[in-house]
Amino acid sequence: MIKYLDAFLDGIKNTAKANKENKSAGAEAKDLATEDNKRALIEDLGEIEEAYKKSPYKTYDGAKIANLQELEYDAPTDEEILRAAEEIYGKAKEESSAKLKSTASEKISGLENSKTRASETADASAAKIAEAAEKAKTDAENQALKRGIGRSSIILEELNGIDNSALKATGEVYGDLQKEIASIDDKIYALQDDLGAALDKLDVDTATKINNKVKELKAEREEKLMAVTKYNNDIKANTAKAMTNAAKAGADIAEENSDEYITQNSEKIKRLYSYYYDFGDDAIEEIEKDKDFITSHVGLSGYNYLRNTLFK
């Protein structure tokens, strides 16, 4: 029987004696072994193992060797780095794009309104020309009637002249309107071209920034990997040297013989004993069912000790 089990045998048996004074075996005790008890057992064993891993030293026959923990670095993948870079500049790009589009939209909207106003002004001018022409024609007809030439070629020629002048003036109004609308349309097209160029430039600039950020993040990753690797290699080298010196001094440096490992397994045995004791007369049956589970935590020798010595 390995030495750590014998070292704690008396303490475990005292625990058993105290338990027997506080509860009966059999069905009542078995009822206490619930799923919650098993979860609590697993958590406790995990805490014991974690405490062992974090113990500051490993002691071999009195020789203390620092138990330095190696660093862990979960290096980001290339895909993760790219996503990180895109997140950094993606939002800024969206905001800049929205601002460019909004500014252009406001200007274009203003120009479209100018076209509407220009058309309304032209229509109003044309209406005034038509109104003035009608008044002029009415006045001419009235004068012709007074002069007794209401249906003469003279008055007809005068009326045609008024219509022709009105048509010419109206044509000039709408001609000017078309020129003004064409000028405004040119400004709108220019704004649209400028917006497209600005958005294209934003795409290129953002892509450049993302690419540079990816290079920066990859360089940081490489630097951290090298630092972690060097630190861990130094730990391994220093530990190996210390272990070699301890072995030369006569210490048995097998991990299972360290004081801390012995303490860990002893605490596990105590916790396992406490759990299976609650099964009363069915304890051995439950232990045998959980052989793989027990062995995974205290090894086959620990299982045999629990099964054949503590619950014999």
Per the DSSP assignment, residues forming a β-bridge with 66 are 57
- pLDDT of 18 reads 52
- pLDDT of 291 reads 95
Q: How far is it, in rounded angstroms, from Cα 264 to Cα 298? A: 9
Point out the residues of the chain with pLDDT beneath 50. Answer: 1-5, 22-27, 29-30, 33
The tally of domains found in the chain comes to 2
The answer to whether residues 222 and 273 belong to one domain is no
Query: Is residue 236 domain-resident?
Result: no
Q: How far is it, in rounded angstroms, from Cα 294 to Cα 310? A: 14
The answer to whether residues 111 and 153 belong to one domain is yes
Instruction: Judge contact between 51 and 264, C-beta under 8 A.
Output: yes
Nearest to 245 by CA among 108, 95, 114, 64: 64
Q: Is this structure's pTM higher than 0.75?
A: no
Instruction: Judge contact between 130 and 174, C-beta under 8 A.
Output: no
The answer to whether residues 149 and 288 belong to one domain is no
Collect all residues with Cβ–Cβ distance below 8 Å to 149 and sequence separation of at least 6: 155
Domain that includes residue 260, residue range: 3-53+255-310
Instruction: Judge contact between 18 and 273, C-beta under 8 A.
Output: no
